[in-house]
Chains A and B, each alone.
Chain A
Amino acid sequence: MANEITAEEINKHDATLLKDIDDALANCMKCGNCQAGCPIYRETRKEFSVARGKISLMQAILSGKLEITKEFDSMMAQCLTCKTCAANCPCGVKADELILRGRHATIKARGLNPIKKTVFSLLSNRPLFNTVLRMGGMFGWLTFKDIPDKNAVLSRLPMPGMDPNRATAPLASTPLRAEYPPVIKVDNPRYKVAFFTGCTINFMYTDMGKAVIEVLKENGHEVILPGAQHCCGTPVHVSGAFELANEMAKHNIEVFERYECDYIVGACGSCVEALLDYPKWLEDEPDWAARAQNIADKVREISQFLVETGYKTDNLGAINKTVTMHDPCHMVRGIHVTEQPREILKSIPGLNFVEMKEHDRCCGSGGSFSLAHYELSRQINDRKCENIKATNADYVCASCPSCRMHITDGIVQNKMPQVVYHPIQLLAESYKLGKQK
């Protein structure tokens, strides 16, 4: 029959999806150096787990030797987007970005997998997304039970797609943005600072968000909390659903354009990286890319902002504890902010800073990766926990709510005493203690 689609035609079509990255893929010289740092390869030691393997598979699609199959999809899914491969690649190949292109091609060829489809359709409807997560928070006590002193919960009921023993973050009974007015005024503000909260801080770790607001207020900044802001789009973008992610980016650009602010700060490395990357995401639409750039120019990670503009250190109270720090992937290899959070921690009186081994190694979370590959992400995390244990620290700091959640789970599973915070929470606490003097 003339209308029948042949396997060869499918292969040809799949190849066109990756055509424009042919040269970028060819730059990989297949040395395999990416094996040394890849957290997933370290556990699985399978070639398709590592960047070289994934790049080869994409080249096989391009040359028509393979087609985009479910198996290809699952191999492309085995990436934490931790960027360790790209940071250490002798040829400068940005494998993390190329793998996202592979995921994008998979969606084009095979559609989105059903679970992601459901989640993403929820994400694409902001009011519904907000309502669902808010309701979840109101009735959270029904489904989750608290783990004392860890700001973590265990599920009481089996949850779809989640390991029953996994410690997760509690959904807040009231989301962060609902607790504050859209503009938090101070007298004679130094700067007007818009706060991009991100989903996890808004709906789960409101304590992180409150700390950011308190610290900004303490330093004389007006805080703007745009109510219509939405998910930064990272979970969608890293799944390869670029079109939807771009829509979310545009929404956030429109929202933040409405406010006159000097800076836009975020407290999550991944969110901040997304805001900085919007111009690149939207490069095919120059008008949008230009608007994205105007936004990106104002974006700072909170510790970066504080160190850049200066913050008060004369009224800090002592925290007599030992702290160690984990560098989230998107902080260290995404936006390259590692010194500022350390500077802040080291400025707190009484706080003893101890560096852990492999502090910049991925904690295994990878956002939604840990949902789909819990066991693997646990193994990666156990190594992180061992490094934490060796420091004998009381606190672990991480500038990323997703890392905080995953490391907290690791600490609970390994029956360790540490508590995980965002560095800014310790600064807020120190300001508070300073006032009690």
Chain B
Amino acid sequence: MEKDQLIAEMKKIVGEENVLHSKEALYAYSYDATPGHIYMPDVVVSPGNVQEVSAIMKFANEHKIPVYPRGSGTNLSAGTAPLKGGIVLLMLRFNKILDLDLENLIAEVEVGVVVQDINDYVAPHGLIYPPDPGTVKTASLGGTICENSGGLRGLKYGITKNYVQGLEVVLANGDIIHTGGKNVKDVSGYDMTKLFTGSEGTLGIVTKAYLKLVPKPEAQASMIAVFNTLEDAGNAVSDIIAAKIIPATMEILDNSSIRTVEDFMHVGLPTDAAAILLLEVDGHPVIVADEKEKVLEVLKKNNAAEVTLAKSPEHKEQLWTARRMALPCLAKLRPTTFVEDATVPRSKLTQFLKIVTKAAKDYNVTIGTFGHAGDGNMHPTIVCDLRDKEEMERVHKAMDVIFRGAVELGGTLSGEHGIGLGKLPWMELQHGKEGMNAMKAIKRALDPNLILNPGKLIGEC
């Protein structure tokens, strides 16, 4: 189809002011937060309601034009990069919180709303929407649903899929379907809600969601512990869980991350420590007090060299500087930053961290690792310069070792960022040919013309 005709058709559906097609505007939608993936779309279209999305999909399906749903474009897997040209479907006009049902603790929210705005909206009612990815202040709800985003509270509170109870979805052929709803229990039919959650825009366009909300915990206790060996830190993590305590957060920073933060921030971090653990338990004040004591005991038993308890919310912020600044400080080291999210069973944490450290050494690349120790979701962060071809080869070799290592330990390529394009080469390693075939069959069934975010997640189909 001619580009001019496509643009004219899109204008007919959504109105002239909601179609962008200048070369400059198209370039601004050629990338997301993933380094090294720039592809020019043919048109950027902002629909204002589900009927418009349906009309766009019908047209695109008929003419086999690729469609890439996009929110804020902050994902780390090239999930919104318009790989094969076509239509970038900008969902940010879906910007309303439609309803807050306090009897069922359900929020009905359009996908263009920023996740933090949902939290700000429900906070006065003493509620929270727990998924809190690092991009909570910028990411759109739709993006976090499609990527099934996690965050710091994953261990205790789960991830996006645990809070999405129903969806409105436009299929590749333009059909509008509704999955799930306000029912806590619902076993009527396939669990389509879960299927679309985490589908990275390859199976349908999500337009609206029913979100489960939970009461805000009444009390918190936070602490930071310093360890001289990775083994001690890893054992402390396992022992805390074994003691039947599920902290809201349990974060780890490796030595490389600690040194980098200290170099930039000068906050007095122990630069010779092998690892730092940051922990928070939350809930009823009585239980929090009890769990705090138990955690302290476990930390001591596992040779924590130093443990500091947060005395106030401000003190906690100060203690958590190290975690908050880990990515920014690592990013400042070099121009390009790959934040990976390979995840292993938490019992294999120490082994995995050793694989990462060895890969960095073997291929002479800079990797700082921090992440969610409690759920084994690590962020080996590789900093480099995309413009240096030779260095990039070494970076990819190191990545290969890390991903293979994670899979061999019974882990997964991605805990929360998604596959997109970046981790495609290792998909078969984790899922096998049969696993890939099953996924491809689902894709072909729902999107026979392969127009939805083509080439991502399962690759060519």
Contacts and interface: CB of A to CB of B under 8 A. Distances in A.
Interface of A: 23, 26-27, 29-33, 35-36, 45-48, 53, 56-57, 60, 65-66, 69, 71-72, 75, 90-92
Given A36-B138, A66-B23, A71-B23, A30 B335 contact: no
Nearest to B34: A30
Nearest to A73: B24
B142 to A, nearest CB: 13
18 contacts: A27-B335, A30-B34, A31-B74, A31-B331, A32-B138, A33-B137, A36-B116, A36-B137, A36-B138, A48-B24, A57-B27, A66-B23, A71-B22, A71-B24, A90-B332, A91-B328, A91-B331, A91-B332
Contacts of A90: 327-328, 331-332
Given A45-B92, A57-B24, A29 B33 contact: yes
Nearest to B24: A71
Nearest to B387: A26
B406 to A, nearest CB: 23
Interface of B: 20, 22-25, 27-35, 72-74, 92, 95, 112, 116, 135, 137-138, 327-328, 331-332, 335-337, 385-387
A401 B73 CA distance: 37
B28 A30 contact: no
A35 B72 contact: yes
A69 B112 CA distance: 31
Given A35-B72, A91-B332, A29 B35 contact: yes
Contacts of B327: 90
A30 B385 CA distance: 14
Contacts of A60: 27
Given A31-B135, A35-B72, A56 B332 contact: no
Contact of A29 (B30, B72, B337): B337
Contacts, number: 83
A102 to B, nearest CB: 12
Contacts of A27: 332, 335
Looking at chain B's contact residues, the main secondary structure is loop
B384 to A, nearest CB: 11
A29 B382 CA distance: 12
Report, nearest first, the 6 A-B pairs whose CB atoms are least far apart: A90-B328, A26-B335, A47-B28, A36-B137, A32-B74, A48-B28
Nearest to B328: A90
Contacts of A91: 328, 331-332, 337
Given A30-B35, A36-B137, A23 B23 contact: no
A33 B35 CA distance: 15
Most-contacted residue by chain A among B30, B112, B331 (CB, 10 A): B331
Contacts of A66: 23-24, 27
Given A45-B92, A90-B327, A91-B332, A31 B24 contact: no
Contact of A57 (B28, B335, B336): B28
B29 A47 contact: yes
Contact of B73 (A26, A29, A47): A47
A30 B22 contact: no
A26 B22 contact: no
A65 B27 contact: yes
A64 to B, nearest CB: 12
A227 to B, nearest CB: 46
B215 to A, nearest CB: 25
Given A23-B335, A47-B73, 11 more contacts: A29-B33, A29-B35, A30-B31, A30-B34, A45-B112, A46-B20, A46-B28, A71-B23, A90-B328, A90-B332, A91-B337
A91 B325 CA distance: 10
Contacts of A31: 33, 74, 135, 331
B387 A32 contact: no
Given A26-B335, A71-B22, A91-B332, A32 B135 contact: yes
Given A45-B92, A56-B31, A29 B24 contact: no
Nearest to A76: B24
Contacts of A35: 72, 74, 138
A32 B80 CA distance: 13
A145 to B, nearest CB: 35
Nearest to A91: B331
Contacts of B112: 45
A71 B24 CA distance: 7
